[in-house]
Structure 1
Amino acid sequence: MRLSNAAVGDARTSDFSWDVLTDLVDVGSRMAGQAGEREGAAVVRDALEEGGARNARLEEFEIPGWWRGSSSLTVHEPHERVHDGQQDVLALPGCPAGEVTGRVVDVGDGGYEAFEAKADELEGAIAMASSATPEEADRWIHRMEKYVNAADHGASAFVFRNHIEGSVPPTGEVGYHERPGPIPAVGVSREVGERLARYAEEGCEATVSVECRNEPTTSVNVEAAVGPDTDEHVLVTAHVDAHDIADGANDNGAGSALVAEVGRLLARDDVDLDTRVRLVTFGSEEIGLWGAYHCAETTDLDDTKCVVNLDGACSSRNLRLGTNGFESVAAAFEATTDDLAATLSTDDTISPHGDQWAFVQEGVPAVMTSTTSEQSGRGWGHTHADTLDKLDPRDLREVGLQVAEAVVRLAADGVETPGRSRAEMREAIDEGYEQELRMGGRWPYDDG
């Protein structure tokens, strides 16, 4: 272990990270570009300062903001019913305001083949797709792809139905960098979605109504540092924003609290760092990774040794690492979890989901650090149910220890973390993810 025994004991007994997480969820809404996000960022800034990091500060940047209004889904046929409460229906960020009446066409799990199979029915219709990924798909199909497919096939509105039970409609960005998107969109609970799917089999007409605003605003990143003042640096990151309907406890208050905890542990007098560690929490991840892109664009990436991004890292203490193929970074985590007799699973798929993508696309060694549990798919994420009671402070402490130890190893002199060129990254991306990025207007390479 590179951390001292005293630091390990501190990590396993301190309430610091849990207190930071509690303060974050008590902010309420931390929607990107709105007052709560800035208040949450201030919580993290103060925690970094309290933990001993230096020059803790906020950095502002511009984003395309989105404000939620009221939404409803009214069924006219075959049985009249009005859904107008947030426990049933939510607008999806990035969509436009509007009201549309049409027949409901259920495209199941919303795979590309399912949309093609229903192509003759979708013109002018309300397309409905589940949040589940089709069994035949070899990767996760993002809601944005389903939304764009609906619009491209002529649908006039989009309904995204949860596959997780419990009367929790899902939310999530659909506009990305083409804001606002082309058609109104709402998320509905599994229970409402199952009923609509049943009605659609016999002929269902409904009205989708969305009130929202798409306007420019500003967001903030939080940044501080520990260790020597070297040009070369390791980035430890998370995002502080969360959807306005819930506490955003695991997604991603826990990640932000972990950044502060890693900073606190690495700032201890008995911890020696060879390389500067920059601690950054991003704003506006949930609506298009804007904070991460701002950081990447204002950082000398040649000096960035690697990026360790934390997102959804408190569902258990079973660490999961999305390596994006950067095995040198993975090796530090593997050695750490071996020494701590901890669990680690890895996936080398190059994925555009998460703030690390802003760096991965440039060839910077960057990993996504999360945890795994028995919960299916996204679970409570992006719903009202992403609350503090789902999490355990013991898990947060253990993950904080594992990440802090791995970062000390990555920051050590002599540890090489080779990157790749942009051309190499472009060639390494799976065709499926290229398809997703192009669908969302997020393809970062100038090759048509």
Structure 2
Amino acid sequence: MRNHILPALGALLLGVSSVAVTAAPAVAASPAAQSPDAVAQALAAKALASDLPMQIVTDLTTELGPRLAGTAAEKRAADWAKARLEKLGFENVRLEPFTMAGWLRGEEKAEITGPTPQPLVVTALGTSVATPPEGIEAEVVIFKRYADLLDAPAGSLKGKIALVAEQTVRVQDGSGYGAAGQIRRSGASEAAKRGAVAYMIRSLGTHDHRFPHTGSQTYQDGVTKIPAAALSPPDVEQIERLAAKGHTVKVKLKLTPSNPGTVTSQNVIAEVKGREKPDEIILIGAHLDSWDLGTGAIDDGAGVAIVTTAAKLIRDLPQRPKRTIRVVLFGAEEYGLLGAKAYAEAHKAEMDKHILATEADFGQGPVYAFNTRVADPKHPSIVRIQNALTPLGIYRGDNAASGGPDIGPMMQLGVPVVNLALEGSDYFDTHHTPDDTIDRIERKRINQTAAAYVTFTYLAAELDGDYRQKLVAEGQGTATGSN
């Protein structure tokens, strides 16, 4: 769905741009004479007019392309990001490597062999094992809902291919995808427990185009590993129509992924050092890796551009904010938040110095709500941040934020988090597909998001505030995301 924007979204953006740009004053040579709120307003205006978000996401997706975790392509992207961040004037720019199990996509082919031969559009799910060299040919058993697969008795799928045809619901905040995530992540092992020789799903997407969505899946210990793949929505519906006519549908599936063993990924880190409290950290993140079907523009080149732009605009102020701003471009997010877990472990000793954290990993925006997870959601500085965000069309949300996928491991260690909630009605049209390319990015949308992030980041770094609470002890849950 090229350039798909809801009418209300378009109206919001048009209104935001005209109000925020004309109302915001320039940053004075001596910002000490200005209130933090005025500085934040001027920064937002600069972000709305900036070329930098489009430059960064265009360069990343054009010069680097796909960035599959643990590959040479991801390492080239990390080196590129390090050089770019250094050129932009950030401090303490560095790579923090970690190891992971590698996985490489191979040949992918599927076809209906009965009742009438016809090709299918398929892709392997991340970490899937290979089929035998000749492929697997078997009868397909269709489950309208994932719950129906779970209700199937042991042995009922012996020698067959399980196909879950459940659709992903289009929701602004992405919760439809969150609800469907277990279909992809856990389904192969559940099918194997019931005797299946392969597992296929209707792609976890909200479009009706004939291309598939990839994504990671996890095998359960002690359960036979079977090949796992996603079919495009029209192909799943074709199989359903044949079955509805009373045919026994047979499919041949051939996947040849490989496992290169232990490989290396890395997080890329850069900072804007605080002038008064340099040991206190406001962390803004995105993830640098991407799946290999597209070029990772929506997921998550946009996020890389957003947080880099926000930090760069603050770095260029005549006077820096009190606290340090740390930009983290996480590696291997798509394989299960591996970079996030490595970061939380490596920086465990300074988690009490992480004042607030958030991530941009839900496309280009715009931002429509400000959600928190802090001890006092009515803290004066939180109120001031919300007041500064309101002219951008952003309303106050709840106090149940997750911070973003890569922020989850930090949140579990007690770090307070926020979400700048991104418009996601069209995010899963392109997420993890060949259509995740730069032509999906719209300047007005990504710039509004950059304006929201720079507003939040500057005020969080400049205003005093202690937001910590015992998040784990209070049992407030774990982060969910779009990996």
Which TM-score band (shorter chain)?
Answer: 0.7 to 0.9
SS at match of 2:39: coil
Map 1:90-239 onto structure 2 (within 5 A): 90-98=123-131, 99-110=135-146, 112-116=147-151, 121-130=156-165, 132-133=167-168, 140-142=179-181, 143-162=184-203, 164-175=207-218, 182-201=225-244, 202-214=247-259, 215-228=261-274, 230-239=278-287
TM-score by length of 2: 0.79
**1:128 shift after superposition:** 1.3
Map 1:261-340 onto structure 2 (within 5 A): 261-299=309-347, 300-314=350-364, 316-320=365-369, 323=372, 328=377, 334-338=386-390, 340=391
The amino acid that maps onto 1:307 is A
Structure 1 residues 116, 138: CA separation in 2 closer, same or farther (over 3 Å shift)? Answer: farther
Deviates further, 366-375 or 190-199: 366-375
Report if aligned partners of 1:96, 1:181 keep a CA contact under 8 Å in 2: no
**Number of the residue aligned with 1:72:** 109
**1:70 shift after superposition:** 0.4
Q: Which runs of 4+ in 1 moved over 6 A?
A: 176-181
Distance 1:106 1:352 in 2: 37
Identity, in percent, stands at 27
Report if aligned partners of 1:175, 1:181 keep a CA contact under 8 Å in 2: no
Residue 398 in structure 1 maps to residue 448 in structure 2: yes
Distance 1:69 1:48 in 2: 33
**1:317 shift after superposition:** 1.8
Structure 1 residues 2, 235: CA separation in 2 closer, same or farther (over 3 Å shift)? Answer: farther
SS at match of 2:335: coil
Residue 7 in structure 1 maps to residue 43 in structure 2: yes
Report if aligned partners of 1:296, 1:358 keep a CA contact under 8 Å in 2: yes
**1:319 shift after superposition:** 3.3
The amino acid that maps onto 2:51 is D
**1:119 shift after superposition:** 6.3
Q: Gapped runs of 5+ residues in structure 1?
A: 437-448
Distance 2:392 2:463 in 1: 25
**1:360 shift after superposition:** 2.2
**1:320 shift after superposition:** 4.6
Deviations 1:211-255 (A, max 9, x none): 011222101111010032622211111101110010111110000
Structure 1 residues 370, 420: CA separation in 2 closer, same or farther (over 3 Å shift)? Answer: same
Residue 423 in structure 1 maps to residue 473 in structure 2: yes
Q: Which has the larger radius of gyration?
A: 2
Q: Gapped runs of 5+ residues in structure 2?
A: 1-36, 171-175
Report if aligned partners of 1:96, 1:180 keep a CA contact under 8 Å in 2: no
The amino acid that maps onto 2:367 is N
Report if aligned partners of 1:109, 1:133 keep a CA contact under 8 Å in 2: no
Distance 1:141 1:310 in 2: 21
TM-score by length of 1: 0.85
Number of positions where the alignment pairs a residue of Structure 1 with one of Structure 2 = 424
**1:181 shift after superposition:** 8.2
Q: RMSD between aligned alpha carbons? A: 3.2
SS at match of 2:465: coil
Instruction: Decide which of 360, 371, 375 is 2:411's aligned counterpart.
Output: 360
**Number of the residue aligned with 2:58:** 22
The amino acid that maps onto 1:140 is A
